[in-house]
Amino acid sequence: METAVQFYDYTRPELVRLLGDWGQPRHVGAQAFRWLYQKRAKSFGEMTDLSKELRQELEGKASLSPLKLHSRQASRDGTVKYLWQLPADVKGQAALVESVLIPMARDEEGEPSRHTACLSTQAGCRMKCSFCATGIPKFQRNLTTAEIVAQILGMEQDSGTSFNNVVVMGMGEPMDNYGNTEKAMRILHDPEGLNLGRRRVTVSTSGLLEHIERFIKDDWPVSLAVSLHSADPEIRSRLMPINRSNPLDKLRKLMRKYTFVRRLPVTLEYILLKDVNDRPEDAEKLAAYCKDLLCKVNLIRYNPVPTLPFDSPGEEAVLAFRDLLKAKGMRVFLRERKGVDIAAACGQLGFENTSKPNYEF
């Protein structure tokens, strides 16, 4: 039996070509695409401007169900973490992946008026950053384009809300799953898709140089964030093994190229780890690294993972680090903690399925 074609795997031009190969006029593929994303159709039967014969044909050879909701957890702060079950592989094993709904600004009644969707691109992660829970268990696989896109649609359907912003900062390294993530981002940006502007979607990378070079050339319709976490090569290599083959000096040159070509700032993510990268000299090195780089820095308090040997600095140290950077004229933001109590915060995803790692620091 042939595997059903998953419609969410296709960009608009690809869906037009697919239905053209099935004998349909070009406009039919565009109609189907609008049904998926503008009208949020949950079945082919709802696509009423397609012929009855085509809808019946699609029911037999195509699919709109790439994810199954396994469970959801709600935080005291309104954050919701979703655990999705992926389709089983050839061995019958079904991986699990998490994504997060994050409430942002609130209206006069105290209700969230804006929401951010945090999406995953892999089940597990090959980067093995020493402070991150996602890299502890064995890497399972890349997500398909459909599985990336379906996270935002599934959260939207469950919560009854729409998303103002998307961050691709969940489980996995997005650029290690380059092709599928790129297609998903083009669907999110497409005016007949989810119609999210370039500044509304941010993709985060640990700094894979060849992939960033390709990312710039291919002009993904998103903003770029880089997980930096230290401007000291030795410390960063201990925190992020990827730094050994993708060093800081070359990474900086590529970020300068990105900001010159795209005329957009790059966001540098910096998790503050007590007695590791939170000292005044660490802030001085970060400020020097960012000199003449169009960037902003997101400071993130370390979120606890019980099996990892790190702590968050005290509030006095956090504010001192921020203020030193500001005194250097840098744009610095201290990210508000969200979802810590349900292991949904930065660096915690995948924790509940982990065992104790071998990391020492």
Catalytic site residue 46? no
Angle at CA of residue 124, ends 121 and 125, nearest 5°: 80
Long-range contact list for 28-35, CB < 8 A, 24+ apart? 28/54, 30/192, 32/7, 33/190, 33/192, 33/193, 34/192
Cα 335 to Cα 208, 230, 299: the distances in Å are 24, 17, 6
Which of these is catalytic: 53, 98, 108, 360? 98
Q: Which of 118, 129, 295, 346 is catalytic?
A: 346
Q: Which residue matches tokens 């990892």?
A: 308
Asked about 346 being catalytic, the answer comes back as yes
Exposure string over 95-121, b if 16+ CB within 10 A, otherwise e? bbbbbbbbbeeeeeeeeeeebbbbbbb
Contacts of 143 (CB under 8 A, 6+ apart): 86, 97, 120, 121, 122, 123, 172, 177, 180
Residues identified as active-site = 98, 346
